[in-house]
Amino acid sequence: MRGMDDINTIGVIGAGTMGNGITQVAAASGYDVVMRDIKDEFVERGLSAIDDSLSRFVSKEKLSEAEKDAAIDRITGTTEFEDLADCDLVIEAAVENMEVKQDIFSDLDDLMPEDVVLATNTSTLSITTIASATERPEQVVGLHFMNPVPIMTGVEVVIGEKTSPEVGELAHELSEKLGKETWESDDKPGFITNRILMPWLNEGIRAYDEGLGTKEDIDKGMTLGTNVPMGPLQLADHIGLDVCLHASETLFEELGDRYKPAYLLKRKVAAGDLGKKTGQGFYEY
């Protein structure tokens, strides 16, 4: 297994919100990054999002223009899976679909040298099941970054049934090199964060649907009453209502009725109002 000193180039699979965020943080931390997605337009959109995000850091004087340019220069965007072959560690950030992730990890297992660690950014799916698609399950680990990745300081390290202690330690150390703080979860449905977060979001949505208060008052009550930065409706919009629904459905299937998705959440997703990314969720953006 390659250690921290051997990791110079990181591969990221997926150029969407999570993938481009992970790419940005890794490049800004001094790593070369190969960001791969299935279409040129997805890659270009991801690169544009990174440029915009880094520019905001420059405007807030948290980054210099030279540091931004250096980070951009470290990123290679591609649609070719084979371009990941020389990476020292790969982080998968594709869609939350087990079949898709297993296909990716099977292909990575064939492509990557046997000493390369393979990580997944999944927020709900079993690390153990994903790892079963490879011949190196002891080198598969969960690296669950929080959204938005460049701003949120936490990473949840998830240990699968066969993840080795050395790989778990590497996951913590790498996250810290990326400027994050970590906590560790066993490979059980939802891990620590979503297992606790999703019922909270759903109850906030149910309270609003039942007329307990306006969306503003529900969110204000939770932010001022519990000292969280966002209330449940605003946070759900920022995460993406489709993401919240998928996570809730996965947990409902695994853990039962207390995770049943709120009806209004399902209705919003069916209407295509997914939150901040579509300009309309519980709030307008």
Residues tagged active-site: 123, 144, 156, 194
Cα–Cα distance for residue pair 226/180, rounded to 1 Å? 24
Length of the chain: 285
For the stretch 3-6, contacts whose Cβ atoms lie closer than 8 Å and that sit 24 or more positions apart, written own/partner, are 3/170, 4/170, 4/173, 4/174, 4/177, 6/88
**Cis-peptide into 148, omega within 30 deg:** yes
CB 113 within 8 A of CB 86: no
Ordered DSSP codes for 87-129: -SEEEE---S-HHHHHHHHHHHHHHS-TT-EEEE--SSS-HHH
The region, left, alpha or beta by phi > 0 then psi within -120 to 50, assigned to residue 160 is beta
Grouping H, G, I as helix, E, B as strand and the rest as coil, residue 254 is helix
CB 137 within 8 A of CB 164: no
Cα–Cα distance for residue pair 228/231, rounded to 1 Å? 7
CB 125 within 8 A of CB 144: no
**Percent of the chain as helix, strand, coil, to the nearest 5:** 55, 15, 30
Cα–Cα distance for residue pair 235/257, rounded to 1 Å? 22
Grouping H, G, I as helix, E, B as strand and the rest as coil, residue 75 is strand
